[in-house]
Chain A
Amino acid sequence: MTASNNNKNSCVTDSNKVSFTFDGKKYFGFDGDTIASALLRNNIKIIGRSFKYHRPRGIYTCGIEEPNALVQVLSESNEPNTRATVKKIYSGINVLSQNRWPSLKNDFGYVNNLLSPLFSAGFYYKTFMGPKGFWKNIYEPLIRRTAGLGKPPKEFRSKSIHNHHNVDIVIVGAGLAGLLAASKFIDSEYDVILLEQDNMLGGSLNSSQKIKTIENLETREWLKKIENLIKKSKNIKIFKNTLATSYNQTNHIIALEDNSVGKPLASHKPELILHKIRTKHTILSNGHIERLISFRNNDLPGVMLAGSFEKYIFRYGVIPETEPIIFTNNSSTFSLLKSLIDLGCKPKAYIDVRDESLIDKKTKNILETNKIPFYFSSEVEGCDGSQMLETISIRNKEMQIKKIKGSMLCISGGINPDVHLFTQSKGLIKWDEKYLTFRPETAFQNTITIGSANGNFNFNKIIEEINEKLSLFKLKELKIDLESDCPEDLNIVELWETISEKKSFWSKSFIDIQNDVTTKDLRQAVTEGFDRIEHLKRFTTNSMGTDQGKISSINSLGIVSKILKKNISEVGTTIYRPPYAPLSFSAIAGRSTYEFYDPTRKTSIHSWHVKNRAIFEDVGQWKRPWYFKKNNKENMYEAVQRESKELRNAAGILDGSTLGKIEIKGKDALEFVNLIYTNAFTKMKPMTARYALMLGEDGMIKDDGIVCKINDQHFIVTTTTGGAAKVLSDMEEYAQTEWPHLNVYLNSITEQFSTFNISGPKSRAIMRKVFSNIDFSNEKFPFMSFKKVNYLDTQVRILRASFTGELGYEVYISPKYGLELWEKFFRYGENLGLIPYGTETMHLLRAEKGYIVVGQDTDGTVTPLDLNLNWMIGKNKKDFIGKRSLSRSDTSRKGRKQLVGILAVDKSKIIEEGQHVVEKSSIPAKIKFPIKYLGHITSSYHSPTLNYYVAMAMIEGGNELIGKKFYVTQNKSLENINVEIVKPIFLDPENKRLLS
C-alpha cells in the first residue's frame, strides 16, 4: 500500500504545492511540510544509511528526537545532519541523503554490515593496538576518512544574532499544558516568555485527536482563541520556532529561534536568533518522547514510532501507510487506532504485549467492530525485508510464530517525560513503577514541571495539576472542561526487547539506531565488566549520537537492569547534557561582527591621524598611530628612521592621550602616594613631577609613570596605556582594604585629557608660539615641573618631561579642544620642522636613551635593582608596596639578570629582539648539550642618529660584565653576532639635550 493525504483535519493543506529535490530527483510537497513528511507523501521511505553498518534507514519519528533521517541540505551551504523530521521544505530546497556511496540504493559501505560480526562493541579499542606506528599512519587516517555522518559545510556563514531577555517566567513548550499555564498569566504582573519549537502552538493537540473539545470548542478553535488571548496580553511574548537548548545555573536558559522556517536563507540576514534568557521561574511543559522496542531488525525502513505516525497524519496531513501494523505495550496507541478508523484506514494487525485483561474496552471494541486482526499477549519477534520492511514475525504467548506481510510497523514502547532540560537544571528524577519511566522529582532551581513533562499522562488531571503547581503565583484558578475519547490513564507493561528467533549474523536488534548499537553490544559490554551505566555508554557509544538516545536510552537502562538483575532505579541514568538538540557552532558564536568584534578606542585626534596616513597599532583596545607614512611608497622602517631623525633635528609630536591618568586627592594623599610608589615624595615641591615606579608585593616592577604633585593633598599620576585600569583598580583596593584609615580618593581621568608629547630641540620655540604668555625658559620652567594655563574656556596643564631624551613637554587638555590645539601646533610648528611621530619611533628614541618600557624590557620578574634604578627607591621611607620583597635573598643576590646595553662589534650587524646572549660564537646544527644562556635582547633598534643598532638586554650579572664581549644568536643563521656589553645609554649620556 502507499501513503495518502489526510485532507480532512490536518494542519498542512494541499493548497500550496512546493517543489524540492532529494538525491537529485524533483518531488512535490506542500507548504508546511517537513522534508520527512514530504518524502513520505511521495512514498520515499529510505532516507539514508546508518552510521556504522551502512544499513538502509528510514524515518523513525516525527520530531527533534529523530535518530535516522539526517540529511545534507545542499542549498544551504551544504549543511549536514539536518533532521528531515524538523526541517521544513521550501521551493527549491535541495536535499541529499548521507553516508552512502555511490548511491542510497547501492552503497559500497554496506560491506560493513556483512562484516558486522567483527564490529562488535569495543572493536576499535581492541583492534587497533599495534603494530607500533600503525595508529598514527594508517588506522587513524583511515578511520577519520570513513567516520562521521555527512560532509562539513562548504563555507562558514554568519548565522545568528544574540538577544538578551529578563523575565519572571519562561514556559518551555506550548502544548496543552504550556498553553493552559500561559493562559493563567494573561494580563498578570508577571513578564512571561512562551517558547515553542514548532511554528504553531498546540503541541500534541495538533498531532493527534486525543482531546476532542476544550471549553466546548473544537481543539483547533480553542487553540486560535487562546493564542489570540495570549498575543493580546502585554506581559507575554510568544517565540515560535524556538527550541530551548540549555537550562543553565541561576535559571539561565538558552533558546534558539529559527527565522528561516519554510523559506530560503536570506543572504543579508542571519536566520537564527540565540536568545539568552534570565528568568525567575521556569515552567517546563515540554511534553514527552515515545520510546522504541528492540526486536530483530527494528531498524528497517518502515518501522516508525506510533505517536509519530499519528503526528504525520494530523500535523502534516500525510498518512504514511493506510494499512499499518501496530505493536505496543501500552494504551497510548488507542488514539492512533481510532484515528486511522476515523479516516477510513484499517490497520492490518494490532499486536499488544499486554494480557487481554489489561486492555481497555474501547480498544477491544474498535478492533472487534472493524475486524482488525489482533494479537494480545503477543510480541513482534522481528522483521524482514530487502532494504525495506516486508514481513513481520509475531510470537504469541504459546511461543508460536506467525508471519504477516506489511510495509509499515508502528511501535510504542512507552512514554518518557522529556526530562532533559529538567536534569540539565540539576533537577533530580525518580523511577515511576506505574508508568515505567523516570519523572521529575526534586527541582534544584525554581523549576516547575507540568503535564506529560512531569509524568502526568492523564488529561483530566492536568487542570488540577496546573492550578496546584502555579498556586504560588496567586493567579486565577483555571476552570476548563476537557473532553477526551482516550483511556483516562496510561496503562503499560514492561517490554524493552523481544527475543530473536532467527540467529543470523546480519540480523540485529538495535537499541541506539543512530550509533548502530545493538542489544547484543550491551550484553557484551556488561560481560566485559562495563557494568556501570556511564562506562557502558562510552564503551558501546550507546546514546552518544546527535539524538542523545532520546527514544532509546531508557530502554537500554531497562535491558541492562535485566542483565544485572537489578532494579532500573539502582542502575541509574546517564547525564543529559546541554544542548538539548545539536546547534551549530556558528549559532553559538553569533554573526561575524568584523570590526565590532572587539571594542575600539580612539583618541580625539584620530581623524587627523587617519587623514595624515597614520598606520595604527592596537594597544589594548586603543588605536595608536604606529608611524606616519610620508607617501605610499614609504615602508615602516623608512618612516620610523625618518621620524626619529627629524625629531632629533627639529621636533616631533606624539598623541599620548592613551596614557592612563589618575587623580589622587585627600588629606592623606601624600602618604598614599608614598606607599604606592617606590620613590620619595615628601620633600618634593608642589607643581613638580617625578618619574615613579610601582612594584607588586613581590617587589617586581608592575608599572611606571609620572607623579605630578599639585600639593601634599592633591596628585595627578600617569600610568602605562595598558596598565591604566589595573593600576587604578589596585590603588582603589589598597585604599579601601589595606589602608582604610587614609583619607584619599581616586578618579580615573584618562579620558578627560588629550595628551601630546612635543619633543626635540625646536619644541621650546613651538611651545612659545602656541602658548605665547608662558615663559618656557629653563629658569622659569625647569625639567620635571608643570604649570596650569588658561586656554579658551578650559585649562591646559603643561609638564616639562621627555621620553625621547630631547627637550620635551607634555600637554594635557580637555578632549573638546584636543584636535583644535593639535592643529594649532602644526600651524605654528610646521615651519620649524614639527612632524607627527608614532609609537614605534617613540620606542626607538627611548631605547637610544636607555629608557625602559614596562612589559618590554621587564617581564614581571624584574626589580628596580635589576634595572639599576636604585635611585628611584626612597630608602628612608618606612614602607611602600614591595619594599620587604626587595630585601629577600633572591631579589638582592648577585648574578640576577640585569639590564645592559648591547652593541655589535661589527656595527653593520642587525641585532634582533628576543635573541639569546650566549658565550659561543656559533650554534651547532644539532644541539647535543645545553648551550649556556646568559639572557635575552629586550629591545633593539637601528639608530638613524648613530647609524647602527642599539640594543638592551637582561643578562645574568650584567653589571659585572660591562666591557666584556659575548655573542647574540640570529634567527636565520647558526653563526652568532659578536657583541660588546655596554651601559644601557647610547645617546647624550650627559642629558645635555634633555636639559637644554
Chain B
Amino acid sequence: MREIFSISGIDIFQRDFNQIMIRGNEHDQLNQIVNKEISLNLPNKNLQVINNDNILIAKHSFDQWNLIYLKDQYHKDALNLVSNLNSNDQILASDYSHGQVYFDISGEKKNYYLNKLTHFDLRLKKFPVNTMAQTLIARIDCSIYHLKERYIVTCNKSFEDYFIQRLTDSINL
C-alpha cells in the first residue's frame, strides 16, 4: 500500500490487488463455479457490487464480471482460479492482476476532488454504496467501485504515472 495523498478531506492510497475478468453466461455453470471457489454469488444486476472483507465482485455488463481480491493474495492463487474457471469451455477468465492499478480513495471531500477530473455524478443518491461504474476520470477509462465510505478506482497500469500526477495536481489546484 502506497500513500499517494493524504490531506484533510481526502486520502488516496495505491493498493496491490489481484483481479480476474470473467465472462460467461450466468445461467450456465458460471455462478456455481464461482460460488464454489470463493463462496460468493455473482451479482445479477448490472453495475451491482457484492463484497466481503476479502473479495469484491461486480457485474460490469450482461455477461461480464470483475473479481478483485481486496487483501494481499498470492498471484498464483489468482492464476489457479483463472485456470479453474477456464477449465469450462464456456467461460473466459482473464488474469488482470498487475495489468491494472488500484486507488483506494476515501475522505469526506473525495467527490469534490474527483469532480475536478470527472463529470460523473458521484452523489450517494446517484451512485449508491455497492455499485460500480465505468467512466472517464482525467480522460482515462476507469472503473470505480463504491464500497462503504470509500471508492476503489482502477485503470490500466500503463496510465499509472499519468493518473497519479493528475490526482495530485487536482488536489493541489
Which A residues have a C-beta under 8 Å from some C-beta of B?
Answer: 161-166, 191, 269-270, 276, 278, 593, 595-596, 598-604, 606, 622, 663-667, 713-714, 743, 745-747, 749-753, 793-795, 814-816
Contacts and interface: CB of A to CB of B under 8 A. Distances in A.
Interface stretch (B35-43, B45-53, B157-165): B157-165
Nearest to A165: B115
10 contacts: A164-B119, A164-B120, A166-B119, A596-B138, A600-B159, A665-B92, A745-B24, A745-B63, A793-B76, A814-B95
A750 B169 CA distance: 28
A793 B75 contact: yes
B86 A665 contact: yes
A202 B140 CA distance: 42
B79 A794 contact: yes
B141 to A, nearest CB: 9
A27 B96 CA distance: 67
Interface string B130-158: 00000000111000000000000000111
A599 B139 contact: yes
Nearest to A190: B125
A543 B63 CA distance: 57
B119 A751 contact: no
A527 B15 CA distance: 75
Contacts of A161: 116, 173
B157 A604 contact: yes
B33 interface: no
Nearest to B117: A164
A749 B94 contact: yes
Interface of B: 21, 23-24, 63, 74-76, 79, 86, 89-92, 94-100, 115-116, 118-123, 126, 138-140, 156-162, 165-166, 169, 173
Nearest to B119: A164
Q: Which 10 A-B pairs have the closest CB atoms?
A: A751-B99, A601-B158, A752-B99, A166-B121, A745-B23, A745-B92, A665-B92, A816-B98, A747-B94, A164-B119
A666 B119 contact: no
Contacts of B123: 166, 191
A600 B115 contact: no
A815 B99 contact: yes
Given A749-B99, A815-B98, A667 B89 contact: yes
Nearest to B16: A816
Contacts of B162: 596, 599-602
Contact of B116 (A162, A606, A794, A814): A162
Nearest to A167: B123
Contacts of B92: 663-666, 745-747
A595 B169 CA distance: 12
B51 to A, nearest CB: 22
B172 to A, nearest CB: 10
Nearest to B140: A599
A814 B75 CA distance: 10
A3 to B, nearest CB: 42
A163 B23 contact: no
Contacts of A666: 89-90, 92
A598 B166 CA distance: 11
Contacts of B157: 604, 751, 815
Contacts of A751: 96, 99-100, 156-158
A919 B5 CA distance: 66
B161 to A, nearest CB: 6
Nearest to A795: B79
B99 A753 contact: yes
Given A815-B98, A816-B97, A164 B116 contact: yes
Contact of A794 (B75, B121, B158): B75
A795 B140 CA distance: 29
Nearest to B83: A795
Given A166-B122, A599-B139, A795-B79, A667 B90 contact: yes
Contacts of A713: 89
Given A596-B165, A598-B139, A753-B99, 5 more contacts: A164-B116, A665-B91, A745-B24, A752-B96, A794-B79
B124 to A, nearest CB: 10
A276 B138 contact: no
Contacts of A269: 173
A163 B158 contact: no
A606 B23 CA distance: 31
A925 to B, nearest CB: 49
A821 to B, nearest CB: 13
Contacts of A816: 75, 97-98
B99 A714 contact: no
B32 to A, nearest CB: 18
Given A666-B92, A667-B89, A815-B99, A602 B115 contact: no
A452 to B, nearest CB: 32
Nearest to B163: A599
Given A667-B89, A752-B96, A602 B160 contact: yes
Contacts of A596: 138, 162, 165-166, 169
A811 to B, nearest CB: 16
Contacts of A667: 89-90
A794 B98 CA distance: 11
B161 A814 contact: no
Given A278-B119, A599-B138, A599-B140, A794 B99 contact: no
Nearest to B101: A751
Contacts of B74: 793
Contacts of A714: 86
Contacts of B63: 745
A262 B169 CA distance: 27
Contacts of A604: 157
Contact of B158 (A165, A191, A622, A745): A622
Contact of B115 (A163, A598, A743): A163
B58 to A, nearest CB: 15
Given A599-B138, A794-B79, A752 B98 contact: yes
Contacts of A795: 79
Nearest to B161: A602
Contacts of A750: 99, 156
B169 to A, nearest CB: 7
Contacts of B139: 598-599
A596 B162 CA distance: 7
Contacts of A166: 115, 119-123, 126
Contacts of B173: 161, 269-270
A278 B121 CA distance: 9
Contacts of A601: 156, 158-159, 162
Contacts of A749: 94, 96, 99
Contacts of A746: 23, 92
Nearest to A601: B158
A717 to B, nearest CB: 13
A329 to B, nearest CB: 47
Contacts of B91: 665, 745
B159 A747 contact: no
A747 B21 CA distance: 8
Contacts of B159: 599-601
A814 B97 contact: yes
Nearest to A275: B115
A373 to B, nearest CB: 59
Contacts of B118: 164
A601 B98 CA distance: 15
A663 B23 CA distance: 11
A255 to B, nearest CB: 14
Contact of B95 (A600, A606, A752): A752
B106 to A, nearest CB: 19
Nearest to A166: B121
B73 to A, nearest CB: 11
A165 to B, nearest CB: 7
A283 to B, nearest CB: 19
B166 to A, nearest CB: 6
Query: In this complex, which of A666, A667, A746 has the most chain B Cβ atoms within 10 angstroms of its Cβ?
Result: A666
Contacts of A191: 123
B41 to A, nearest CB: 20
A930 B21 CA distance: 58
